[in-house]
Amino acid sequence: MNRRKFILNAPLSGFTVGFGGMLLNNCTSANPDEISFEKKSTMEKVILAMLSMQRATWEQGVAMQALLELGEKELVILMAKDAVLRQSEDGRLAMLGEEFALGDAASPGEAVLWAARETGDDVLMNGFEKLLEYILHKAPRTDEGILYHFTNIPQIWSDINYMLPPFLAAAGEYREALRQIEGVRSFLWDPERKLFSHMWDCEKKKFARKDFWGVGNGWTAAGYSRVICALPESMKEEKQKLIRYLQELIDGCLIYMRDEGLFHNVVDKPESFVETNLSQQLAYSIYKGVKGGWLDKSYKEKADKMRSAAHSKIDDLGLVQGVCGSPEFDHPGTATEGQVFYILMEVAYRELNDCHTY
């Protein structure tokens, strides 16, 4: 067998990437030579590209969450084991590439908890419990109890709306999840523009970055969606309030959607570059909302347009181009989170349309 073909075929020839037991593509041919990278589905290529990327703390976490929602149990368990392997002494998970990560280090938490319950592995459960103890009682925070984005800088970032509250909700700490959401909102939400600024410095008492960063608003929309799904029926009033927050945010973003379905990196600044990932994040949030019955079906048309635009940005290797590019995220490029939200968007789209094959 040609060595190059073997390397390309090896990652998916030994297991099948599936959703709820459904195959994405038939990669179990008796003759591996017949399986070429070019014949893999777009989803398979996107997953392979994501798994090939070097990942920092939050990137490991969000990749795990995407695979969890896709139904890739074995991969989630493997990645959870490595997240715990790289757990810091104080409890932060997947500590690689970001020494001072705080909120980001909570992003693997839900997948680690799921893997612990699925396997009965005490090491995984201890890793989850250690993280929860750190978040609830030890992590640096404001006087009001709102966690900082980093351990060494007293700043609040919009990103944390995805990294932290969904973990807390998955852990059953619903009130704390909502308290963190309200706290971040008090610092960063602009009620007139219906958008989130990116960074607030609690020490200097001013914005470290006031811009309405698109992906920061996308992190927030997706995080709200996950918390809404996690809240129990006994918290209907709180759920309705969060749904209202999400709808306001989506409406605020949609004002700035371009004709092709994408947004500028800073949504209200057309001089900033055109960016891909906000469209994926909003489409994911809308599809989940329409499926859950807490967003009007009229939003789906906008989500479909954003999804179509995102599809046009995927190259032959499965890389989602034009997202905020690693490692600085200040230019159009590729990044783990761009791959992640393609996966999440597609899962949500297919769940809404009751179609689980890729």
Question: Residue 140: is the preceding peptide bond cis (ω within 30°)?
Answer: no
Structural domain contains residue 292:
yes
Q: Are residues 264 and 335 in the same domain?
A: yes
Structural domain contains residue 160:
yes
Q: Which residues does 295 contact at the CB level (< 8 Å), separation at least 6?
A: 243, 246, 247, 250, 286, 289
Structural domain contains residue 104:
yes
Angle at the Cα of 244 from the Cα atoms of 139 and 346, rounded to 5 degrees: 80
Q: Are residues 217 and 281 in the same domain?
A: yes
Q: Are residues 76 and 11 in the same domain?
A: no
Say what the pLDDT of residue 34 is.
Answer: 53
Say what the pLDDT of residue 98 is.
Answer: 83
C-beta separation of 193 from 265 below 8 A: no
List the domain range (segments joined by +) for residue 12. Answer: 1-40
Q: Are residues 3 and 70 in the same domain?
A: no
Structural domain contains residue 59:
yes
Which three-class secondary structure state does DSSP give residue 190?
A: strand
* Number of independent structural domains in the chain: 2
Angle at the Cα of 175 from the Cα atoms of 226 and 65, rounded to 5 degrees: 25
Structural domain contains residue 358:
no
C-beta separation of 146 from 182 below 8 A: no
Q: Which residues pair with 262 in a beta bridge?
A: none
Say what the pLDDT of residue 27 is.
Answer: 42
Q: Are residues 256 and 225 in the same domain?
A: yes
Structural domain contains residue 110:
yes
| pLDDT 10s digits, 130-163 | 999 999 999 999 999 999 999 999 999 999 999 9
Structural domain contains residue 114:
yes
Q: Are residues 22 and 80 in the same domain?
A: no
Q: Are residues 20 and 48 in the same domain?
A: no
The domain that contains 174 carries what CATH number?
1.50.10.10
| pLDDT 10s digits, 8-17 | 343 443 344 4
pTM comes to: 0.90
Mean pLDDT for the stretch of residues 222-227: 98
Q: Cα separation of 172 and 278, whole Å?
A: 28
| pLDDT 10s digits, 50-100 | 999 999 999 999 999 999 999 999 999 999 999 999 999 999 999 988 899
Average pLDDT, rounded, for the chain: 91
Structural domain contains residue 117:
yes
Q: Are residues 23 and 135 in the same domain?
A: no
Q: Are residues 34 and 75 in the same domain?
A: no
Q: Are residues 82 and 191 in the same domain?
A: yes
Task: Using alpha carbons, list the distances in angstroms from residue 346 to 188, 204, 341.
Answer: 29, 41, 8
Residue with tokens 């990645």: 79
Q: Tell me, letter by letter, the H, E, C secondary structure of 76-108.
A: HHHHHHHHHHCCCCCCCCCCCCCCCECCHHHCC
Which three-class secondary structure state does DSSP give residue 215?
A: helix
Q: Are residues 341 and 326 in the same domain?
A: yes
Mean pLDDT for the stretch of residues 31-57: 83
Mean pLDDT for the stretch of residues 191-201: 98
Confidence of residue 103 (pLDDT cuts 50, 70, 90): very high
Burial 31-40 (b: 16+ CB within 10 A, else e): eeeebebeeb
Q: Are residues 142 and 152 in the same domain?
A: yes
What one-character-per-residue DSSP string does 218-257 give?
HHHHHHHHHHHHHS-GGGHHHHHHHHHHHHHHHHHHHTT-
Q: What percent of the chain has pLDDT over 90?
A: 87
Residue with tokens 């970032």: 157
